Amino acid sequence: MATPEIPRCCPSCGKENPPDSTVCHFCGASTVERISLKIVSLGIVLLLAIAAAHFYLAMSYAPDYAAIPSLTPDRNFERVRVKGRVADVQIVREAYDHHQVRIELEGEGGGGRYSDNRISVRLEGEPANDFLSNPGFLNRGDLIDVAASLYAGDNYRHLSLSSMQFIRILEKGSGAPIDPSAASGSRYAPAAPAPKATVAELLADPEKFRDQVVIARPLEVVEVPEALPFFRVSDEGKPEPQLVVIGYKGELPAVGDQISVRGKFIYYEKKGYWEIQVRDWDKGAVIVLTDGTSE
């Protein structure tokens, strides 16, 4: 076997060695058993080839659409991708910006209002608000692609959408645009029967209100801790008793503000006190009252 050529200068540290040193006398690196750094260039070329293959696959990707009639209760909770035309859009408005959007979707081939080929796609909370803030996004007759979770049981069947990004318009329809602010399908939901109470009333018989959505007013803000996600309130003009309001994501009120709070009255087991928990999407949960304000 031919002896490999042994370099005089160490290929690792660059220092000059005595002749025929297979190991560098300064750093101990082998002067013959080495791997060229061209291997990195080879890796770069391979990575670019892999990238090209992936992009090609992404471009030629054909989604696996589920036929709407196949969305039966035995597929409950399954994440599915559905293609269909927008037949109708209903907007259910509730107090404090808690709206619902229902998109009636009809599979290709049609079928009419009560056919199996039609399903309601529901948006609640943030996705609904995003939808409503995008007037003109959908037209009746638009062909759309929806990725959502199926909720199907004995007498119900709908798709629940967790984000607006899962609606993709494949083809614009010719129907009238939907204006969320004046949509024909828009209606107000009956007001939720939230009992009204003061802090004193709530704490006098807390079990009566346990886990219910309540509206507490008029209240006064007692403390707004800087680093913590809650603030304290008491009945207007009375320093005690106090309640913690937690979970509000909007602009915090200032100490001394008179406010109304809507949220769930719950017992915080860990620290052992009652509080009002506001759902984080509920931007209207806290309203600063000025004189004569009514809800």
Per CB under 8 A, residues contacting other proteins are: 11-15, 21, 23-30, 33-37, 39-40, 43-44, 46-48, 50-55, 57-59, 61, 63, 81, 147, 162-163, 165-166, 226-229, 270-271
| Nearer to other proteins (CB atom), residue 16 or residue 205 | 16
Phi-psi label, residue 57: left if phi above 0, alpha if psi -120 to 50, beta otherwise: alpha
Nearer of residues 4 and 110 to other proteins, judged by Cβ: 4
**Would you say how long the chain is, in residues?**
295
Q: Please, which residue, 37 or 182, has the CB nearer to other proteins?
A: 37
Residue 151 phi/psi, 5° resolution?
Answer: -120, 110
CB of 208 to other proteins, least distance (A): 29
- Cβ proximity to other proteins: between 9 and 176 the closer is 9
- Strands 286-288, 273-277: pairing kind: unpaired
Q: Give residue 230's identity as a one-letter amino acid code.
A: F
Residue 29 beta carbon to other proteins: minimum distance, rounded to whole angstroms:
4
Structure tokens belonging to residue 284? 């209207």
Residue 65: CB minimum distance to other proteins, A: 11
- Residue 118: beta bridge partners? 106
Q: Give whichever of 165 and 184 is closer to other proteins, judged by the CB atom.
A: 165
Q: Rounded to the nearest whole angstrom, what is the least distance from the CB of residue 236 to other proteins in the complex?
A: 26
CB of 233 to other proteins, least distance (A): 18
Task: Pick between residue 28 and residue 73 the one whose CB is nearest to other proteins.
Answer: 28
Q: How many Å from the N-terminal Cα to the C-terminal Cα in the chain? A: 95
Instruction: List Cβ neighbours of 7 (8 Å cut-off, separation of 6 or more).
Output: 31
Give pairs for 191-195: CB < 8 Å, separation 24+.
191/94, 191/95, 192/94, 192/95, 194/262
Element (H, E) at 43: helix 38-59
Our CB check for other proteins shows the closer of 30 and 184 to be: 30
Going 161 to 166 to 170 to 171, the CA torsion angle's sign is: positive
Q: Please, what is the minimum distance in Å from the beta carbon of residue 99 to other proteins?
A: 19
Least Å distance, CB 32 to other proteins, is: 10
